[in-house]
Amino acid sequence: MIRCIAIDDEPLALKQLAEYIKKTPFLELMGQYDSALQAIEGLANSSVDLMFVDINMPDLSGLDFVRSLEKPPMIIFVTAYSEYAVEGFKVDAVDYLLKPIGYTEFLKSANKARSYFEALHQATSKESTDGEYLYVKVDYKTVRLSLDEIIYIEGMREYVRIHLTTGKSLMPLISLRILEVQLPSNKFMRVHRSYIVNLKKITSIDNYRILFDGKEYIPVGDQYKDVFQNYINSRSLG
């Protein structure tokens, strides 16, 4: 079961979210809150896997609330304003629901969260992710891919583009977030909301731009700079 909470300052919208969660067999409602501040107190008393969060709320917006969390769970944003969609994905939300929300749309988003949740738990239990290869589905076939062939991976919403040392690329139907948990953390690092890099392929770093053989570079996103810099510092001489 995926443990959930719902946060919305509109009573009817909050009631609907709670009913949808209860209706979905693989979701468990742990709490419902009419403000982000109230949710902070709730999170202090229980752990959750997924939050349905309204964006436009008084006192503390859903976006600012999520940004304030040190280790946020999976997030699905809900709002009446479509212009917030891009900002929602910038904080690595699983999905974005536009009000009024029908159960079909809700279930589609919940299934996305379940896919990520299952991938996360498989990654922590499978020894294969600590090995030298993984399997990806591309063009109706499954391809065995050596981890050492990967230079970096670029997120493209529902797809990713895996850039290879051969100069070619693969585009499996999988999200960057799911693939991130399948890769060994001692070899790969998320450095941007749109990029994962093979740490062994880095040739130089220039002002938080990662270069590979001097041909192309990947920017390090602001929220990833501290972790990346700590990694570099731990391996620096002098």
Residue 31: partners with Cβ closer than 8 Å, 6 or more residues away: 5, 6, 39, 42, 46, 48
Tell whether 111 and 137 lie within a shared domain.
Answer: no
CATH of the domain at 33: 3.40.50.2300
Tell whether 138 and 90 lie within a shared domain.
Answer: no
Q: Which of the two residues, 77 and 83, has the higher pLDDT score?
A: 77
Number of domains in the chain: 2
Would you give the distance in Å from CA 37 to the centre of its chain? 23
Residue-wise pLDDT tens digits, 128-161: 445 688 888 888 888 888 999 999 999 886 789 9
pTM for the model: 0.66
Which two three-digit tokens encode residue 111?
Answer: 């299934």
74 located within any domain: yes
Residue-wise pLDDT tens digits, 10-58: 999 999 999 999 999 999 999 999 999 999 888 888 889 999 999 988 8
Tell whether 142 and 48 lie within a shared domain.
Answer: no
Integer Cα distance of 49 and 60 in angstroms? 21
Q: φ, ψ for residue 147 (rounded to 5)?
A: -60, -30
Q: Which of 125, 156, 180 is a domain's end point?
A: 125
Tell whether 32 and 63 lie within a shared domain.
Answer: yes
- In this prediction, residue 127 carries a pLDDT of 43
Integer Cα distance of 100 and 1 in angstroms? 26
Residue 217: pLDDT above 50?
Answer: yes
93 located within any domain: yes
Instruction: Kindly provide the b/e burial profile for residues 8-38, where b requires at least 16 CB atoms within 10 angstroms of the residue's own CB.
Output: bbbeebbebbbebbeebeebebbbbbbbbeb
Residue-wise pLDDT tens digits, 166-184: 989 999 887 787 788 788 8
Are 91 and 84 a contacting pair, CB within 8 Å? no
- In this prediction, residue 117 carries a pLDDT of 86
Query: Given pLDDT bands bounded at 50, 70 and 90, which one contains residue 87?
Result: low
Domain that holds residue 29: 2-125
